Structure 1
Amino acid sequence: MREKDAWLVFADEAGQSLRPPRATTWSPRGITPTVRVNAGSGRISLASAVCCRPGERTRLIYRILVHHPGRRTEKKGFREPELAALLDAAYQQLGRRDIVLVWDNSTQHTDAAMRALIAARSWLTVFRLPPYCPELNPDEGVWSNLKKSLANLAACTLEQLAALAKTRLKRMQYRPGLLDGFIAETGLILTP
């Protein structure tokens, strides 16, 4: 990475339905708190990249897709073209510098279409994480933080859920110390 003067980018995808993640809360003794949820179907798909480089501020780049039930024309999640678009956006936002991408062995990361998209980008070098080790990916910290902040919030529509997720991800973008904490949590050391 240092020899290439490249950005180290950790990427991952996640999803969220209208049913909020569970969390604890306070209530008067003897009264069980309840959160009423419109458990409608549909979901949002999220993809993000934690980008770091020695001497630079750590950055977060993300994309959100909304999938309404019954709409066959809407994408259900991130596939190869959307992931390639995320990587192209990262390349632009990171000053057109080379990228060393680290991500898991998900099907859409390893299939022939993705290999062709990667081969077409001379500025991109890809490494894969070993199977079943999310603790090595700082992007998992992004999802954990996001899900905790959405806990017990009952969004009524997918658009509201997408807006809430976007607001929280945008807040994370302006907190490079938090992003550095996600990297430190993996045990990765960036300084020589």
Structure 2
Amino acid sequence: MLEQHVPADMGFEARYTWTLPLVAEWIKREFDVTLSVRGISAMLKRMNFSFTKATYTLAHANEEAQTFFRKHTFAQLKKQVEAEQIDHLLFEDESMIRSYQALQYNWFPRGKQRKVPTYGKHEGAKLCGAIHYETGQVHHREEEKADTTAFIRFLEDLLSAYSSGKIALILDNSRIHHATGLQPFLKEHPRLQLVFLPPYSPNLNPVEGLWLWLKADVVNNIFFEKFYKIRLHVSQFMNRINNQPMETIDRLLVRL
């Protein structure tokens, strides 16, 4: 019941989070058995339950398409890498970095909260990032906005970084990745191949994990009074992980 239903499904009007008192009320209603909140907590722990934060999932994601990508499209790409038909297999994505990010849980004296000052400014920058599937090397570029021109500049960076051989770039279906203005550039650089993920499939792109890692390590829970400081932190993070590429491989790429 706890896994498959929210309280509203079970007759608790406008309630969507199972708490111990609600579980106790449901048990009393359904079985006429009275259990204490502490007893229910102990019981749920024995049943391998924990009080965890919910997470979003994309309602329009197509599991069959994702499975096909993993077992067919990506499998074929890896075979082409092994056969040296593809020289560089990369994943790419974009993210917004703001002068202040989400506040996360952190250790602090009981009864107190860490206070993070803010001026209410919303300065930010778009980051383009790519991870090399075999080496774990990360390339990134900062732009003021995410548009076709910015994306082309990042592609030029990748072509420069990998100056010879075929590049297969796995990426999502963002508008800028399909833009008409991009087509002449792709024709001019035939060694660059774009491979599109199934729609609504961030779970298949390890760069999404890179952004979470970056924000958790150097951005969240802090306010940057000067935006250049966040640029500095981002660069330091990228330099650090590129000096330890096996950490990136173990953390983001092994599961693929």
TM-score by length of 2: 0.63
Q: What runs of 5+ residues in structure 1 fail to find an aligned partner?
A: 66-75
Q: Which ranges in structure 2 are unaligned for 5 or more consecutive residues?
A: 1-79
Partner of 1:177: 246
Aligned partner of 1:89 in structure 2 is 157
Bigger share in helix: 2
- Using CA pairs below 8 Å that are at least 6 residues apart, which structure has the higher relative contact order? 1
Structure 1 or 2: more strand by fraction? 1
> Which residue does the alignment assign to 1:126?
194
Q: How far 1:8 moved relative to its partner?
A: 0.4
Relative distance call for 1:111 and 1:5 in structure 2 (3 A) is closer
Partner of 1:163: 232
SS at match of 2:169: strand
Contact persistence 1:21–1:148 (CA under 8 A): no
Any idea what the Cα deviations from partners look like across 1:119-155, whole Å, max 9, x if unmatched? 2211111110011110100111110100101221221
d(CA) in 2 for partners of 1:34, 1:127: 44
Aligned partners of 1:91, 1:64: CA distance in 2, in Å?
Answer: 17
Q: Which residue of 1 aligns with 2:53?
A: none
1:7 deviates by 0.5
Aligned residues: 173
SS of the residue aligned with 1:78?
coil
TM-score (norm 1): 0.83
* CA deviation string 1:144-172 (max 9, x = no partner): 10010122122102111111112112212
- What does residue 63 of structure 1 align with? 141
Paired residues of 2:131 and 2:139 also in contact (CA < 8 A): yes
Identical positions, percent:
21
Per-residue deviation at 1:31? 1.9
Question: The residue matched to 1:162 in structure 2 has which SS?
Answer: helix
Q: Secondary structure at 1:100's aligned position in 2?
A: strand
Cα RMSD of the aligned pairs, angstroms, is: 1.6
C-alpha distance in 1, partners of 2:138/2:242? 5
Answer with 1 or 2: which has the greater Rg.
Answer: 2
Moved runs in structure 1, 4+ residues, more than 3 A? Answer: none
